[in-house]
Structure formats: structure tokens, C-alpha cells
Homo-oligomer: A and B are copies of this chain.
Amino acid sequence: MAGEIPYKIYLDEKDIPASWYNMRADMKNKPAPLLNPGTGQPMTAAELSGVFCDELVKQELNETDAYIAIPQDIRDFYKMYRPSPLVRAYCLEKKLDTPAKIYYKFEGNNTSGSHKLNSAIAQAYYAKKQGLKGVTTETGAGQWGTALSMACAYFDLDCKVFMVKVSYEQKPFRREVMRTYGASVTPSPSETTEVGRKILAAHPGTTGSLGCAISEAVEVATHNEGYRYVLGSVLNQVLLHQSVIGLEAKAALDKYGVKPDMIIGCAGGGSNLGGLIAPFMGEKLRGEADYRIIAVEPASCPSFTRGKYAYDFCDTGMICPLAKMYTLGSDFIPAPNHAGGLRFHGMSTTLSQLYHDGFMEARTVKQTDVFEAAEYFARIEGILPAPESSHAICAAIDEAKKCKETGEEKTILFGLTGTGYFDLVAYEKYNNGEMDDYIPTDAELAESIAKLPRI
């Protein structure tokens, strides 16, 4: 069914993928295993299942099955907001006066406002299936916490969210959405956990960090009968669930016989990028097709481009397993003026291996350039993008401009992961000319990387 390409390509409900695609099955060099920080040995399923749901542990460790069927209950939930639109950015192309053809997969058309819901509903489903009472998690900016709250409301699961204190105070609306979906939201560090009390005693008045919130969430999950911990990025299971993004994008392009030349995604922990590129990377791994795949990260938190490929802790509390990844060191915290999200010090182990093996490239963009691209895009395409997504927009616009210079008619696909409705404090800063860029010095990075665990 080729023909004139509409502004929005919608697939039918029946085109929602029946299976997730697991890139690891097609990788010759598998990602390095998670290690037990105590023993230095690979984490076993038994060890992981104290923290994570059983079925999710299986998915985490599954390196052989390329396709894993999506349970019907999850597909039914997906029907409420999927297939998500693949948009042909006609207005942007016209404004840029570029011969490039630009497409974006828009994942912001659901109340959580981002792609995070794709994995949240899967994780909530498996928790429910296991007969659990509830799940715990941490959230920073709040996209993941919101998505998980929605998913738990749907399956009638208790949802305990530890929200980094500074975000809890600065983003009351995010907190309120989660409460509206029935979640309990605790500012972290809190007096409700041992680790929280310890941190508060050592650092009274601290505004918290993602690492601390993770530690509290894990403690509550492991100390309470019927609870497990869930996570919105980095893990293999999350990339697996997020593969619906790429599978749908590819199906929509295939419908019109379009093959992208390059695929661009923002990268923090890798949940969106890993999902968007999945089926394309699969073709590349199997030698069936070639694509340029570009990860875009903030200049203020440049894991791929300036990090070290090594084993590191996923959290600052150092209670989580060790993962081999491109990392800036679990001690690294992006500058406080960084408002663009994607603040994680490390990166998905799967994406790290793929990058290490040369299957993708990476670049950084500066914060002010990101917001300039965001505002430009909002005015032309009518969608106010999340700062995270705007990293990909920024790179896509750069590539489209290059096409204008060279006259090449490249086809660009990028991931628009979410909307910026809850990021208006950052937009205000930009509108008022108060936003600046901070790029860590080599010395700073060397210092935090020097503290990597010796494995």
C-alpha cells in the first residue's frame, strides 16, 4: 500500500506487535552479565528474583529468544494508546527547506506523556500475575513514576514511588498526577527507610538524588512481603518492552515502502533508544540491511562519548548489581543547571556492547541548543516536546540541514519520546534567557571515573 504519505501514519489495532523483539538474540557479542557486588560473580535468577518479579528476571536473562509473545492483557492496555502515530514532519521539512524526509515516532500521546508506559504496563502485569501486592520504584523527573502509577491503577496494584526530594518540591504537578492514579509518593531521602535515615543523618538538608531514591525503593521492596522493585530504564527487560516503538515505526514505514537512512534517538539509560532502534538493529546485526544509528546525549552527561566501558554500580548507594556499561562513574552527578533530563551516569549494557562493537555512533548536544530546537519544533510541528526528546530533534534538524547543503534526499527517523507539559520551569528559564550550558571538564570526569569499582 504505497502512495502519498499522510501527515500521520496510523496503523490498525491489529498491527500492535504480537511479540517484543529481543536484540540480544541476534548479537554475536552478548552484553556482559550483571555481577553480584559481593561475590563478583554473575547474578543468578534466584538472586535477582528477590528484587525483581520472576517473569521479568527470565526476560532479563534471556539471550536466545528473538521474539517474546506479548500477553493479551498487555496488548489490551496498549490498545488504549497504541499504535502510536508515526508522523511525517512535512511542516518542519518545508520550514528547513531541506530535501531530507523526516519522520518521527511520537510516544507522548498518553497521559504519562512518554514512552515509559510501554514497559510500566508490562512490569505491572507480571507483578500482578505473580500475585504481588505492589511494586516500588524511584522517579526523578517523574515520567517513569507517572507511567508506573497509571499501570498499577489499571491492575489494582499498590505503587510506592520514591521521588527525589528536589523534584518532589519543584514538580508538585508530577507528584499530583501520581497521587491521582493512586500511588503513594514519598520525597527521598525519607525517614521511612533505614538507608534514608542514614543518609539524612549524614547529610541533613540534602535534596536527594536518583541513587538514593533507588536505594530506598529497593529496601522497601526487599523488606516487605509481596513487593518487588521495578525500574524504567537501563535493564534488558525494559529495552525488550520498548521494542514496540521500533516495531511499529518499521511497520508504518514498510506500509509505504520507506527505508530510513538514519535513526536518531536520545539516550539517557537507553530505554527509548533501545526500543526505537530494535528491529532496525536486528536487520543490521543479521546483515540484512544497513542503517546509521545515532545516539544523542547531553553534553553535560556524556556517557557514550566521554565515559569508560567498564563495570560500575547502577546506583550511588552501591546496593544494585554491577553492570558493564559506558559510565561516567556512579559518583557523577550532572550540573544542577542541567534541565534536559537524561541524567543517568551509565547506559544500558546492551546498547553499550553495540556501541563498543561499532553498530552505532553517538554525539552530544548542548542544553541551550536543545531548547532552541525544542521551541523551533513546537512552533512548527505543534507539539511541545520533552527536553529529553529534544536532543533527538536537535540532531535530526542538524542532519536535515546537512542534506540541504549537500542536496541529498536522506530519510531520517527520530524518536519523539514525550511531551514537555511538566517541564515548563525549564522552558521558562530558556524563555527568560537564564539557561546556560555546563560541560564537565576532563579532570572532573577523570575523578569520578577513577572511583569505578575494580573488577
Residue numbers of A with Cβ under 8 A of B are 6-8, 10, 12-13, 77, 79-81, 87, 91, 109-111, 113, 150, 153-154, 172-173, 176-177, 179-182, 375, 378-384, 419, 421-422, 424-425, 427-428, 431
Q: Are A428 and B378 in contact (CB under 8 A)?
A: no
A428 near B176 with CB under 8 A, answer: yes
* Contact of A384 with B180 in the complex, beta carbons under 8 Å: yes
Q: Which of B176, B378, B381 contacts A180 (CB 8 A)?
A: B378
List the B side residues contacting A91 at CB < 8 Å: 80
Can you report 30 residue pairs joining A to B where beta carbons are below 8 Å apart?
A6-B12, A6-B13, A8-B80, A80-B87, A80-B91, A80-B382, A81-B382, A110-B383, A111-B383, A150-B379, A150-B382, A154-B380, A154-B382, A172-B428, A173-B421, A173-B425, A176-B424, A176-B428, A176-B431, A177-B384, A177-B421, A177-B424, A177-B427, A180-B375, A180-B378, A180-B427, A180-B431, A181-B378, A181-B379, A421-B421
Hey, which chain B residues are within 8 Å of A182, CB to CB? 379
Q: Are A111 and B172 in contact (CB under 8 A)?
A: no
Bound-state CA distance A110–B384 (Å) is 9
Q: With the chains together, A185 CA to B109 CA distance in Å?
A: 27
For A111, the closest partner residue in chain B by CB is B384
Give the CA-CA distance A196 to B179 in the complex, in Å.
40
Given contacts A172-B428, A177-B421, 14 further A-B contacts (CB under 8 A): A6-B79, A7-B80, A8-B80, A77-B382, A80-B381, A80-B382, A110-B383, A111-B383, A153-B378, A176-B424, A177-B384, A179-B431, A180-B424, A181-B379
Chain B contacts for A181, CB-based, 8 A: 378-379
Q: Which of B12, B154, B173, B431 contacts A424 (CB 8 A)?
A: B173
A384 vs B87: C-alpha distance when bound (angstroms)? 24
Query: Which residues of B have CB within 8 Å of A384?
Result: 111, 177, 180
Question: A13 touches which one: B8, B113, B177 (CB < 8 A)?
Answer: B8
Rounded to whole Å, the gap between the CB of A374 and the closest CB of chain B is 8
With a cutoff of 8 Å between Cβ atoms, the chain B residues found around residue A421 in the complex are: 113, 173, 177, 421-422
Interface centre among A12, A113, A177, A182 (most CB of B within 10 A): A177
- How far does the Cβ of A202 sit from chain B's closest Cβ, in whole Å? 32
Q: Hey, which chain B residues are within 8 Å of A81, CB to CB?
A: 382
A77 contacts across to B, CB distance below 8 A: 382
**Top 8 nearest A-B pairs by Cβ distance?**
A173-B424, A7-B79, A153-B379, A6-B13, A176-B424, A421-B421, A111-B384, A176-B428
**Within the assembled complex, what's the spacing in Å between the Cα atoms of A77 and B381?**
9
Measured CA separation A180–B425 after assembly (Å) = 11
Q: How far is the CA of A109 from the CA of B421 in the complex (A)?
A: 13
A378 contacts B111, C-beta separation under 8 Å: yes
Please report the C-alpha to C-alpha distance between residue A110 and residue B382 in the assembled complex, in whole angstroms.
7
Cα separation A10 to B173 with both chains bound (whole Å)? 31
CA distance A154 to B8 in the complex (A): 18
Chain B: CB-nearest residue to A112: B382
Q: A382 to chain B: which residues have CB within 8 Å?
A: 77, 80-81, 110-111, 150, 154
Closest to A419 in B: B111
